[in-house]
Amino acid sequence: VAIPRLHLFELEDQPWFPSVIRDLATDYLCFMESKFLFHRAMVEPLAEALRITKVEQIIDLASGGGGPAKGLQKELRERLIDIRFILTDRFPNEGAFQRTTEGSAGQIVAEMEPIDARAVPPHLTGCRTLFNAFHHFKPEDAVAVLGDAVRAGQPIAVFEVSDRSLRNILPMILLTPIIILIATPFIRPLRWNRLLWTYLVPLVPITCWWDGIVSQLRAYTTDELRAMGEIAGAGSYTWNAARVPLGKTPGYLTYLIGVPNVTS
């Protein structure tokens, strides 16, 4: 069923939104991504872009609770690709960034200053990635994110689990609050405020429920992604957009990868 794209507001995008709830919500998302090994479907397309471009680090934009950096780094290493990750976000989740970088021997580091994906500072060079975050951007902002990478001559890879399909939207409406209530005791670190804002005052389930539904309605199709890439790249980049099965889940991963054309 073709569902028109709707760009409703997401709570976690609002600058006034309490960072404690935003951070607990992005922690939950990160937990689910790692439990269901979402990163596995991303490894091959990302590895191919890294091999082509020979970059040595990834600038992860909109990293939220840390995203799939740890899992991806391990899988890439098994494919003999040693890559350093720099985590960034417009609203950095400092606790999650610290936990993700710990024990990585400097191979995952975090930028604690706010970084807007539409205007990345020039000292952050490397392949830019956005994991489950591209739907946050309206088409004009999404083109700005891609265009900023193009102006800087850096590759960019966008991965989305959100999907504008009833297959995703219906379970999101019916199951998200229940899943959060069940999953919360397993999310580490188990803090009193996670229990408070989940069970006593259920702002985390409400946020994840609303933002989860809105995320599916905001998702871009491969054709839309490719078209935005062509606008941003103006012929100087090669874009590859595809939709692949998401591991053992019934869902799909959608991605767009842009690499600069080699000029001789």
Residues that bind ligand SAM (CB under 6 A): 12-13, 26, 29-30, 33, 61-65, 67-68, 89-91, 116-118, 131-133, 136
The DSSP letter of residue 122 is: T
Residue 5: C-alpha distances to residues 166, 176, 180, 205, 224 (Å): 13, 21, 26, 24, 10
Nearer to ligand SAM, 136 or 194 (CB): 136
Name the residue with the smallest CB distance to ligand SAM: 64
CA atoms within 13 A on the CB side of 73: 23
Nearer to ligand SAM, 80 or 168 (CB): 168
Q: In the bound complex, what is the minimum distance in angstroms from residue 89's beta carbon to ligand SAM?
A: 5
Q: In the bound complex, what is the minimum distance in angstroms from residue 145's beta carbon to ligand SAM?
A: 8
Q: Which of 245, 261, 255 is nearest to 225 (CA)?
A: 255
Q: In the bound complex, what is the minimum distance in angstroms from residue 261's beta carbon to ligand SAM?
A: 26
Nearer to ligand SAM, 52 or 152 (CB): 152
Q: In the bound complex, what is the minimum distance in angstroms from residue 10's beta carbon to ligand SAM?
A: 8
Q: In the bound complex, what is the minimum distance in angstroms from residue 98's beta carbon to ligand SAM?
A: 15
Nearer to ligand SAM, 6 or 236 (CB): 6
Residue 170: C-alpha distances to residues 46, 222, 263 (Å): 30, 21, 47
Nearer to ligand SAM, 47 or 69 (CB): 69
Contact predicate 252/245, CB 8 Å: yes
The torsion of the CA quartet 12, 183, 217, 232, rounded to 10 degrees, works out to 60
Phi, psi of 156 (to 5 degrees): -145, 140
